[in-house]
Structure 1
Amino acid sequence: MSDAILYSGNAFSVADGKGRFVLPLEMRKLVKQASGGENRLCLSVHLENGCATGFGLSHKQFLFDEVGELERLAREAGRPFNGDLERENRLGTIEDVNFDDGGRFFLHPDIKEEAGIDDAIFFYGVGRYFQIWQPEALVASPERPALIRNKVRRWLDARAAGGSK
């Protein structure tokens, strides 16, 4: 069995008065485990999905190691490969942030802007990392499973009717 930290599940978070979001408890436990017991969360943007991503420090090391493996495979196959550019794409956009014991953290302004996030987010565990979506963007993404899109749509409807913050 692999030692990889795998995120699953989903949850909503609405920014508090200071603009902080709350990392869901189960994801928080895994991030802390993946970060050697520290309350360290790595945040970035997904290069294709239009959402942010979150994970612990161990996944950052995985991304670095994976580029080394891609370099090795390209070298063996006689293919060109720009490892520096690949590291820039995978590691250069990561922001490390602290979260408190209650899971509160600030989402970096650049990441918020890139992902179109305002005052609400949807956490979506998808394996080695979790996605952080602006809810309306997830609903508008036909590639996401209907079960998840419908759940988020219902939450947005309830929020618009005054049932959720």
Structure 2
Amino acid sequence: MEKGPLVAVSDAILYSGNAISVADGKGRFVLPLEMRKQVKQASGGENRLCLSIHMANGCATGFGLSYKQFLYDEVAELERLAREANRPFNGDLERENRLSMIEDVNFDDGGRFFLHPDIKEEVGISDAVVFLGVGLYFQLWDPKALVASPDRPAVIRNKAKRWLDARAAEGGK
């Protein structure tokens, strides 16, 4: 099977599952174990996590270096298709939209990482984050924002709500 710039499903790292992490005393979150293994694999064995903003959903996104390359390659493919169809296409603008908000961060062997302050502010994350694996990347949500998002799966929103309620009952935020 001939491969173009798009990743074949069999080659792709697919994130799934969900977890909640509370920032430690230094403000670090913990990447869930399975996602951590996948990010490391997607980053050529390095503890390198790419974080960005999902403008349509109001959450952050996380992935390994291979998906960052995929985003770049996908724009090159769109440019090629536009050229072949004699259609206008602004590749620079598309790369700005896809790549300019990505922050590369290191995580330690325990999965601890700092979420960039600009990303935290943009998506409203303070001291807790819900991870949602959604395929080629995972999402990072503020728990309250996730609960308030009717388009997210009810089972995940309910899990976040139960967690928030338990936290409030314990005197947390």
Q: Same fold (TM over 0.5)?
A: yes
Per the alignment, do residues 164 and 36 of structure 1 end up closer, same or farther by CA in structure 2, a change over 3 Å counting? farther
Contact 1:155 1:164 in 2 (8 A): no
RMSD after superposition:
1.3
Mean alpha-carbon deviation: is it higher for 31-40 or for 154-163?
154-163
TM-score, length-normalised on structure 2? 0.92
Paired position in structure 2 for 1:140: 148
Paired position in structure 1 for 2:121: 113
Does the residue aligned with 1:111 lie in a helix, a strand or coil?
Answer: helix
Q: What is the alpha-carbon distance in structure 1 between the residues aligned to residue 160 and residue 172 of structure 2?
A: 12
Contiguous gaps of at least 5 residues in structure 2: 1-8
Runs of 4+ in 1 over 2 A off after TM superposition: none
Contiguous gaps of at least 5 residues in structure 1: none
Report the CA distance between 1:76 and its aligned residue: 2.0
Q: What is the alpha-carbon distance in structure 1 between the residues aligned to residue 150 and residue 92 of structure 2?
A: 33
**1:25-40 matched pairs, under 5 angstroms:** 25-40=33-48
TM-score, length-normalised on structure 1? 0.96
Paired position in structure 2 for 1:60: 68
Q: 1:95 aligns with which of 103, 122, 126?
A: 103
Per the alignment, do residues 7 and 113 of structure 1 end up closer, same or farther by CA in structure 2, a change over 3 Å counting? same
Does the residue aligned with 2:95 lie in a helix, a strand or coil?
Answer: helix
Q: 1:2 aligns with which of 10, 13, 30?
A: 10
Identity %: 84
Letter aligned with residue 81 of structure 2? L
Q: How many residues align?
A: 165
Does the residue aligned with 2:105 lie in a helix, a strand or coil?
Answer: strand
Does the residue aligned with 2:157 lie in a helix, a strand or coil?
Answer: helix
Report the CA distance between 1:78 and its aligned residue: 2.2
Deviations 1:130-155 (A, max 9, x none): 00000111111111111111111111
